[in-house]
Amino acid sequence: MLRPFGPPRDAQRYAHFVRVAALPVSHKMCIALVAPVAGVNCKMNIEASIKEFVDFILVESGVEDDIGLLLEHLDKLPIIVSSAKFTFDEKDYADAPNKDYKTIRSKIESRFPKIGYYNTVLEISENLENTEISVGDAVDDLADIVGDLLDVLWYFKNTSEDDALWHLEQSYISHWGLHLRSLQLYLHELWW
C-alpha cells in the first residue's frame, strides 16, 4: 500500500536525514556530490572515508543496531569507488595479509544483532521466469565488504595510492559490490 508523503511514522527511522540536512555545505560528502555539478574540482579523501566506514562497522559505539546509519554509510561506498581516479601502478607489491573472518563476523553480529538472513535470487538478469530463490546473509555481506576494505586500507599504507585505488575498484567490481547491493536491498526493506 502506498502512503501519501507526510510526517514520519517513526522519528528514529528518519533521524539520519536530520543529521545530514544539518551538516554544513563544506562537509566532505556534500562536496563530493555537489562539486562536480558545480564545476568545482575537489578530491575526496578516499582512504579516510574507507576508514570511517570500517570504524563505524567494527568499533563499538553507544548506538547499537542503527540500521539507518548503516544504510547511510553503505550508500557512500559506491560514491567512494566512482571517485577513485588512478593510473595503474606497474610495480609488483606483496598481497595484503589474511584477515580473521570469524572475528570480523563476530563484531558485526554484536554491533547489528537484528540483521540476518534474507531472500535473494541466483540469476538476476538471466533465466528471468525460472530463477531459483536463494538465501543471503547480511552479516556475511558486511564481513566481506569490511574484509575487502581492510585490504584496501593495507594497500594505502604499504604500497602506493594508485595500487590501493586499483584494489578498491577491482574488489568492488569482482566481489563486494554485489554483496553491497544485495545488502542494501535487504536493509531498505528491513528499515523502511
Is 85 among the domain residues?
A: yes
Q: Centre a 10 Å sphere on the Cβ of residue 158 and count the other Cβ atoms it contains.
A: 13
pLDDT of residue 160: 97
pLDDT of residue 81: 96
Is 8 among the domain residues?
A: no
Between the CA atoms of 27, 10, 181 and 132, what dihedral angle is there, to the nearest 10 degrees?
180
Is 89 among the domain residues?
A: yes
Is 19 among the domain residues?
A: no
pLDDT of residue 192: 83
Is 32 among the domain residues?
A: no
Number of domains into which the chain is organized: 1
What is the reported pTM? 0.77
Residues near 84 by beta carbon (within 8 Å), at least 6 away in sequence: 46, 165, 168, 169
pLDDT of residue 22: 39
pLDDT of residue 12: 47
pLDDT of residue 124: 82
Is 187 among the domain residues?
A: yes
Give the domain CATH number at 56: 1.20.120.1550
Residue 115 · residue 67 · CB < 8 Å: yes
Is 172 among the domain residues?
A: yes
* The three grid cell numbers given for residue 172, joined into one nine-digit string: 568492488
Rg value, the chain, Cα: 18
pLDDT of residue 2: 42
pLDDT of residue 103: 97
Q: Centre a 10 Å sphere on the Cβ of residue 191 and count the other Cβ atoms it contains.
A: 14
Per-residue pLDDT of the chain (192 residues; tens, 9 = 90+): 443 444 444 444 444 444 444 333 334 444 444 444 444 444 569 999 999 999 999 987 766 668 899 999 999 999 999 999 999 999 999 999 999 999 999 999 999 999 999 999 888 888 888 888 999 999 999 999 999 999 999 999 999 999 999 999 999 999 999 999 999 999 999 988
Residues spanned by the domain of 170: 46-191
Residue 110 · residue 145 · CB < 8 Å: no
Is 12 among the domain residues?
A: no
